[in-house]
Amino acid sequence: MDQPSSRAARQESLREHNLALVAREVLSASRPLSRAEVAARTGLNRATVSRLVAELVAGRLVIEDAPVVAGAGRPATPLRPASCTVGGLGLEVSLDFLGARVLDLAGQVVAEEVVAGDHRASAAAAVLGDLGRLAQQVAGRAAAQGTQVAGSALALPGLVAHSRLLVAPNLGWREVDPAAHLHELPGARLRLDNEARLAALAELAVAESRSFLYVSGGVGIGAAVVQDGAFATGVHNFAGELGHVCVDPAGPRCRCGATGCLETFAGTAAILRAADLPEASDLSQVRSAVEQGNEKAERAVARAASALGIALAALVNLVDVSDVVLGNTLAELIEPMRPMVEAELSTRVLAAQWAPVSLRVAATAAHPALTGAARAALAPVIADPAGWLAGPGQGGFGKLSQ
């Protein structure tokens, strides 16, 4: 997403640009900021910051906390994102569920719904129609609490290009235009992205690290590379298909048509089959079986861990990150898998001696792509707050009703 530059501009769109600077600092900060701190971060003078903050407060994007006295100076008034005024609608189609979540500017969940279902080899039109109805219900509940939805973003488990899903092998979908089936969603136009990348966006909002490799595990396995807070998406926006990295050319055939892909060893369905557990089981049951000394489960986890370590080492060698984050279902097995994954990384990453790779669980556990999608839907409000503020005295949002 486009971000305003880090210093004050001297151009025709001075007000809009500087308003975006101030909004970004306040709405993206990890703690409430004072006007003086905003001025120092943006290079704007205090009078300009005060005027722009007043606009954001009047537009209900920012609120002021009670003044705080620190030292001998004047009391500082902390500024923070407003709660339950404007929200982003995050949507997700997974093999096992449909989800909708409205997140406000303060990062709070205003309304959400997750509906279980089996969407393997499903009909896109029917599934997306169900999702559209779910989205309307959740947006309606948010509106009843005073939160207007600024826009929507949809997380999909496959290759996404602009407004289309090109292919999602595990869903059995090809060349799908989701907007055509979701019909009218509240707010601005629908944004699409890969599920793993949106889950990584949720992680980026709360993680201390600004550079990491996020691995989203499920039946399929996706990844996102984050470097200095920016996503490495590739030329066509296809980067991160870790699940289709070949770890054994003689391995099982994958749904994508190739053989030996990582997800045929370390995907949820592959691990359950190898552990001889029912398809309806989850990886927490595999972990319990390992803890109880079940040999089939132990072999299944060791096989998955070795394959995952090989694929991760290849990616770390290519992109040079030191922090690997396991999210979604793979997080359930991080401890039994850790020794073998770390052994593969230590052996196969050329720079491991000088830059050891850490392995940790994602901070956002419950459907992180829904949170990331909601944050992506809110991004235009932060990037262009002037377009979302109503005119003087109107007390509403300019674009929210358009």
pLDDT digits (tens, 9 = 90+) for 11-21: 547 888 899 99
Q: Indicate whether 244 and 306 sit together in one domain.
A: yes
401 part of a folded domain:
no
- Output the domain CATH number for residue 64: 1.10.10.10
Distance CA 27, CA 3 (A): 13
Residue-level pLDDT at 71: 58
What ranges in 225-294 are assigned the alpha helix state H?
Answer: 263-266, 268-274, 283-291
Distance CA 90, CA 100 (A): 6
Residue-level pLDDT at 396: 44
Neighbouring CB atoms inside 10 A of 210's CB total 12
Q: 68, 75 in Cβ contact below 8 A?
A: yes
Domain count for the chain, please give it.
3
Distance CA 138, CA 369 (A): 16
CA end-to-end span of the chain? 22
Neighbouring CB atoms inside 10 A of 2's CB total 8
Q: Indicate whether 109 and 212 sit together in one domain.
A: no
Q: Indicate whether 259 and 311 sit together in one domain.
A: yes
Residue 80: alpha-carbon gap to chain centroid: 22
Low-confidence ranges of the chain (pLDDT < 70): 1-12, 69-74, 390-402
- Output the domain CATH number for residue 338: 3.30.420.40
Q: Indicate whether 218 and 346 sit together in one domain.
A: yes
308 part of a folded domain:
yes
Distance CA 191, CA 374 (A): 10
Supply the pTM of this predicted model.
0.89
Tokens 């109503």 — which residue? 390
Q: Indicate whether 33 and 135 sit together in one domain.
A: no
Q: Indicate whether 301 and 183 sit together in one domain.
A: no
- Name the nearest CA neighbour of 194 among 377, 330, 369, 316: 369
Distance CA 216, CA 197 (A): 9
Residue 296: alpha-carbon gap to chain centroid: 34
356: left (phi over 0), alpha (psi -120 to 50) or beta: beta
What ranges in 283-333 are assigned the alpha helix state H?
Answer: 283-291, 295-319
Residue-level pLDDT at 67: 84
Distance CA 2, CA 197 (A): 16
Residue-level pLDDT at 5: 52
200 part of a folded domain:
no
**Diameter of the chain by CA atoms?**
72
pLDDT digits (tens, 9 = 90+) for 232-274: 999 998 999 999 999 999 999 999 999 999 999 999 999 999 9
Which of 65, 81, 97 delimits the end of a domain? 81
Which of 81, 110, 130 delimits the end of a domain? 81
Q: 349, 316 in Cβ contact below 8 A?
A: yes
What single letter denotes the amino acid at residue 185?
A: L
110 part of a folded domain:
yes
- Per-residue tokens: 369: 């792509």
- Structural domain including 178 reads 86-193+370-383
Q: Indicate whether 77 and 90 sit together in one domain.
A: no
Distance CA 197, CA 191 (A): 13
Share of the chain above pLDDT 70, in %: 92
402 part of a folded domain:
no
Q: Indicate whether 254 and 357 sit together in one domain.
A: yes
Q: Indicate whether 60 and 153 sit together in one domain.
A: no
Residue-level pLDDT at 72: 57
391 part of a folded domain:
no
Distance CA 223, CA 94 (A): 15
Q: Indicate whether 154 and 216 sit together in one domain.
A: no
69 part of a folded domain:
yes
Q: Indicate whether 172 and 257 sit together in one domain.
A: no
Q: Indicate whether 72 and 47 sit together in one domain.
A: yes
277 part of a folded domain:
yes
- Name the nearest CA neighbour of 331 among 242, 215, 241, 224: 215
